[in-house]
Amino acid sequence: MYYVNREQIAVRLQSIAEIASALQFLAANWQGTLLEGLAQERALHLAVETVTDVGSFLIDGFILRDASSYEDIIEITGEAGAFPGDMEKTLIELVKLRKPLVQDYYVWKRTELHPLSHTLSTLLPAFKQSVEDYLEREL
C-alpha cells in the first residue's frame, strides 16, 4: 500500500482557484503597470511551485521514478496518468519559467503580459480536477 500525502496535495490544490483567478483578472485587464507585472510574476511563480509540489508528492507517494528536473516531474506524473497528455506541453512550459522568475527576475519583462497568464486561468483548474480524479482512481 502506498502512503500518498493527500492532505498536503489538497492544501496545494486549494490554492489553484486563487492563482487562476488572479491570472484571469490580470490577462483581462492588463495595462502593463509595475504592480500588474509584479502580481503576474508572483502568480506565475505560485503556479510553478504548486504544480511541481503536487507532482513531487505524487512521485513520492506512488514510488514513481526519481525526477531529475522540474520538467521531469511533469513528464513522470503525466506518464502515470495524473493529467491528460494534452496538458503536458503547457505544464512543461510553465515549469521552465521557474529559473527566470526566481533567478533571473532582474531581466523579467514586467510590462508584458506573459502568454501563459491567459492559458493557465483555465488549465490550472483542469489540472486540479485531473489530479483529484487520479487520486480517486489510484487509491
pLDDT at 82: 98
Q: What is the pLDDT of residues 19-65, one digit of tens each?
A: 999 999 999 999 999 999 999 999 999 999 999 999 999 999 999 99
Q: Measure the N-to-C terminal CA separation of the chain; round to a whole number of Å.
A: 9
Q: Which domain holds residue 25?
A: 6-138
How far apart (Å, rounded) are the C-alpha atoms in residues 22 and 108? 19
Give the residue carrying C-alpha cell 503536487: 54
Give the residue carrying C-alpha cell 500500500: 1
Q: What is the pTM of this model?
A: 0.96
- Cell for 24? 484571469
1: in domain: no
How far apart (Å, rounded) are the C-alpha atoms in residues 32 and 86? 30
pLDDT at 1: 63
Which CATH number fits the domain that encloses residue 73?
Answer: 1.20.120.580
Domain count for the chain, please give it: 1
The catalytic position among 12, 98, 110, 137 is 98
Active site includes 6?
no
